[in-house]
Structure formats: C-alpha cells, structure tokens
Structure 1
Amino acid sequence: MPKAYVFTRNGGPEAEAQAELEMPVPGPGELLVAVRAAGVNPVDWKLRTGFRRPGSEEPSFPEVFGSEAAGTVVATGPGVEGFEPGQAVFGNPVTGGYAEYTLMPVAVTAHKPDGLLFTEAAALPVAAATAYDGVEQLKPAPGSTLLVNGAGGGVGVAAVQIARHLGVRVIGTASAEKKEFVEALGAVHVPSGPGVADRVRAAAPDGVDAVFDLVGGEALEEVAGLVADRTRVISAGGKELVVKLGGAAVVRARNAAVLDAVARLAVDGALRACVTRTFPLDRAGEALRAVEGGHTRGKIVIEVAG
C-alpha cells in the first residue's frame, strides 16, 4: 500500500504519523500522480491545528499533508484532456502531496518543463504562485519601489525575484541572519523587528510605492504607514488586518495558467525556487518542524521518490 505522512486528528505534532493508505482513484477531471517531490508550507501545519480554508469541507481523518507536489502521471480520470500517463506534472493535489501517490485536478496542474527539476517544480504551486498573484495584483511600475515584508520565506523569495524581473526596486525585510540571502536575490535588506519602518525610510528616502506583506500582525501595522495610498498594501500574512488598514488580501488565481507562468520564469532563470533543504518522506515530520519554527530560508521540499 502507498506510504503517506498524515495527521490523524487536529492538534500538534503528536497528531502526525506515517501511514499506508489505499491507492487513490482519479475521478472526473483528476490525475493519479506518482509523487516525486512535495513542497512544505506553513498552511500544512496550520491545517493540522484545525485551520480551514473558506468553503473547504470538514477533514476526513487521516488527512495527508501537502498542498503542492510534482510527479509523473500514472492514470487519468474521466473527461481529462491534455494529459497522458508518463508525463511530468506539478500542481496542487487534492489528496495531499506528502505521499507516494496523490490526485491532482487538471484545473490546478501544469506540465513540468524539461528544464525544471522535480524538487524545483514542487516548490512553485503555493509560494511562487502566491507571489506571482500578488505582484500581478499590485502591478508595480518599472523603477518604482516595492517593500516585501518578510522577504526570506518561500513567498517572499519569489516575490522579490518576480518584481526585480519587472525592473522594480525591492526593499526586503527579514532577520539579520538572512541579510546575505535577501541581497543575493537583488533586494535591499532591512532588518525586521521593532522600528522596522524607520529603517525602511532610511533605505528608501524617496518613499515606498507599495507593500507586499507576508508577516501580518504588528509588523504589517508598522509598515502599512509607509504608503500614502493604503490600497497599495496587500497581504498574504494578515488578511483580516490588512483590510482594516485599508489594503487588501492577496487575490489568488489558483489556475494552471499561473503555474505555467511561474514555470516559464523559472526555466528562463528569472525565478529560482531557492530550495534550501530537502528531506525524505520518512523524515517529513522534521521538514514540518523546520517550517513550523517560522525561521526557514527559502523553500523546504520532501523528496518522495528518486
């Protein structure tokens, strides 16, 4: 039976377990995919604690972790067009990516380009796609200044690169330990923490034109005041708070077209997945702990099969 990493109830890490599950069967519009790699994201452990996306169904335990994956098509469900067994794909699974096999809807699945490793492709569907959607939402003009609040994590890393590719000057807040990493992406690093707004003003004396926040909380409140037009503040880290501040949450497209777009950027060298650590499936818990700690650099990926 296929192996998977699951949570058996809502709670903390004690609710996690390695498991063997029945082989999933693709329904209409779905692909059965042999997973090669799965990205690790904060939403994974948040779902374990009981968080639910708006409109989502109640969990049916055991639930397999993982919101993004890359692998090879094994079988197609009824009505599927454009995908064949043996093709390499990546996208957002409906039955979890921390597994040897998963189901992926064709609506949020794209063909993996030959020039992209499976580990790289698995790092794109959540973080890079969120970053792409956010930059598209702001549409910063070339030469303008964008503040990425939380530039060291998966979404921030991608947002910095996409904006720089568009000719935008980027200020990136992150911990002091991530200074070299953030600067290597082409951003001006500003240490995060209390007083960050003053440090951003010093780094951008002509002001900031827009804010892409990935942190939320007090950090978002402090930097939101840097922009005169609060509609130019968006957040993927404090969605309710940013609306109260006059901004907006990042609007997700969640479609294959965005996946194709970020894959092209990656193949063209404009976007590096920045996979900084990988773990095998039998150490998925360690991968989650690293992300749950909140101080990861770039993306962590689980390698399910070689």
Structure 2
Amino acid sequence: MPKAYVFTRYGGPETEALIDVDRPVPGPGELLVSVRAAGVNPVDWKLRAGYRRPGDTGERTFPAVLGNEVAGVVRDTGDGVEGFAVGDEVLGSPVAGGYAEYALLPAGGLVAHKPAALSFTDAATLPVAGATAYDGIEQLGLEAGATVLVTGAGGGVGVAAVQIARAFGLRVVGLASEGKKDLVESLGAVHVPSGPGWTARVPGPVDGVYDLVGGDVLEEAAGLLGGRTELVTAGALAEAMERLGGSRVARVRTSARLETVARLAADGALDPHVTRTYPLDRAGEALRAVEQGHARGKIVIEVGA
C-alpha cells in the first residue's frame, strides 16, 4: 500500500506517523499525482496544532495527511478534467495533504504544468512559498525603484519574496537573523539583523512592507511607514491588520498565477534555495527543522523517482 505521513489528532509531534493508506481515487475535476517532492512550510505544523485557515469551518478527518505543496506526475484523472493528461509533470496544492506517495490535486485550482527546466524538488516549493511571495509583492503595488522591507527574509517565503521583488525592479531590505546575513545579501537585498532595536538599523525610508513574521516585528515595521496601504502580511491575523491599516496577503489560487511563478523559477529569476532534502520516512525531521525555526531557505521531502 502507498505510504503517507499523517497526524492522528491535533497536538504536537507526538501525533505524527508514517502509515499505509489506500491509493486515492480522483473525483470529478481532480488529478491523481504520483508525488516526487513535497515542500515543507510553517503552515503544516500549525494545521497539525489546530490552526484553522480563515474561512475554514469544516471538521478535519483523521488521520490527516500533512503538507500543502507538491510536484509530481499525473497518473489518473477524474471526470471533467481538461488541460491535463496522464504523464504530465505538474505542481500544485493538494486537496488533502502532500507528504505522501500519491496526492489529489484540483485541476481547476492551484495547479500548473511543470516547466521541463525546473526540477521536481524546486517545483515543490512554489505552490505555497513561491506563490505567496509573489501575491504579496504584487499586492503592494510598488513602482520600480521603490524600497520594500521584507521581514523574515531568510525563510522559504522570504527568500522567494526578496527575489520576486528584485525581479519587479524594487530595492529590497531584508530583516533576518545574523546567521542568515550571507543568504539575504546573496539575493541582492540589504540585510538588517533582527533583534531589539532593529528598526534603527534600517537604512533610509521604506515605501512598503511585506511582513512574514507578525507580532512585535509587524508592529515595529508598520511604524516605518507613513501610510498603511503599503503594509501586507502573511504572518498575522486579519484583526491585527485592521488595527494597523494594512491587509493580509490575498492569495490568487489559479493556474495562471502558479504558471507565472514557475516561469520565474525556470528562467532563473527565482531560486527557491532548497537547503536540505529528506526522504518520506524522515518527514518528521523535515517538519521539526521548520517548526523549530532552524531552516534557511526551503526544506523539501523527496518522495519517489
């Protein structure tokens, strides 16, 4: 039987397990994908801990497969699928988890053909991290030559956001730990070390902020802006943003958006900076690295060949 890495109830790492599961059967409008790689993101452990996305009112069925972005090969299609066929190489956000040998993707949702020049490992970082980065930078709407501050610039979304902002012609200031200084500067950003008093270390005014941290960092970053419409976050709840006058990143979950991000990666304008990979039977270690905040760039689970 196929294997999947799941959580059996809400809680900590003790709820996780690698188990045998039935091979999924694609329903109408769905693709069955043989997973080659799955990206690891903070939202994965947050969902395991009980976090609910805004608007999510459904009850989760356990065991629940972890993971929100994959790349792989189409093995079967459900009724009504157009634009995808068996054998196509694709990337996307699965219907119900991606740390698995097989996953279902919605053909009409956030799924796209994988460019031949893009590896499965890199492609698996784009549906969540890469696309979220693109959505936020575009939402800010800054003109070329403007300065954007990216908080959490050394993480998976941050690394992508810095590069996408650069591709948009923006000057980038990246807030990250001292240990990620070389990484942030290698992306073409001005590094500002995080920690108490960090705002005083920001060189010159900023025109917009893309926050990936939330909390006190978001509050302090907002104080650098004269207007709040140039403040976007993927790291805080909507209530906090209403008070600050900014907004949460509005995700554009379409094939066209994911294709745009994939082209940037295939053309070399976006390097996901996958710093470590793990096999599926070590998925727990991969998730721990992200959950404990030790990851530089992206971590990916490589599932099959």
- Match in the other structure for 1:233: 231
- Match in the other structure for 1:62: 63
User: CA–CA distance in 2 between the matches of 1:242 and 1:150?
Assistant: 17
Structure 2 gaps, min length 5: none
User: CA–CA distance in 1 between the matches of 2:64 and 2:105?
Assistant: 15
TM-score by length of 1: 0.97
2:229 counterpart SS class = helix
- The list of structure 1 runs, each at least 4 consecutive aligned residues, that deviate by more than 2 angstroms after superposition, is none
- Match in the other structure for 2:245: 246
One-letter code aligned to 1:264: R
1:45 counterpart SS class = helix
- Match in the other structure for 2:74: 73
1:67 counterpart SS class = coil
The 5 Å alignment of 1:38-53 reads 38-53=38-53
- Match in the other structure for 1:297: 296
The 5 Å alignment of 1:96-175 reads 96-106=97-107, 107-175=109-177
CA root-mean-square deviation: 0.8
User: CA–CA distance in 1 between the matches of 2:104 and 2:221?
Assistant: 40
Measured after TM superposition, the shift of residue 95 of structure 1 is: 2.1
1:159 counterpart SS class = helix
User: CA–CA distance in 2 between the matches of 1:81 and 1:220?
Assistant: 42
- Match in the other structure for 1:7: 7
Query: Structure 1, residues 172-213: CA drift from partner, whole Å, max 9, x if none?
Result: 00000000000000000000111111111xx22xx1100000
Measured after TM superposition, the shift of residue 84 of structure 1 is: 0.6
User: CA–CA distance in 2 between the matches of 1:156 and 1:258?
Assistant: 18
User: CA–CA distance in 1 between the matches of 2:241 and 2:150?
Assistant: 14
2:295 counterpart SS class = coil
One-letter code aligned to 1:40: V
Measured after TM superposition, the shift of residue 52 of structure 1 is: 1.3
User: CA–CA distance in 2 between the matches of 1:5 and 1:159?
Assistant: 29
One-letter code aligned to 1:66: G
2:33 is aligned with 1:33: yes
The answer to whether the 8 A contact 1:193-1:219 is kept is: no
Measured after TM superposition, the shift of residue 257 of structure 1 is: 1.0
Measured after TM superposition, the shift of residue 29 of structure 1 is: 0.7
User: CA–CA distance in 2 between the matches of 1:247 and 1:141?
Assistant: 18
TM-score by length of 2: 0.98
User: CA–CA distance in 1 between the matches of 2:139 and 2:221?
Assistant: 19
User: CA–CA distance in 2 between the matches of 1:79 and 1:52?
Assistant: 30
Paired positions, count: 302
Which residue, out of 185, 192, 216, partners 2:187? 185
Measured after TM superposition, the shift of residue 238 of structure 1 is: 1.2
User: CA–CA distance in 2 between the matches of 1:33 and 1:158?
Assistant: 25
1:173 counterpart SS class = strand
User: CA–CA distance in 1 between the matches of 2:259 and 2:283?
Assistant: 27
The answer to whether the 8 A contact 1:243-1:249 is kept is: no
Structure 1 gaps, min length 5: none
User: CA–CA distance in 2 between the matches of 1:54 and 1:143?
Assistant: 34
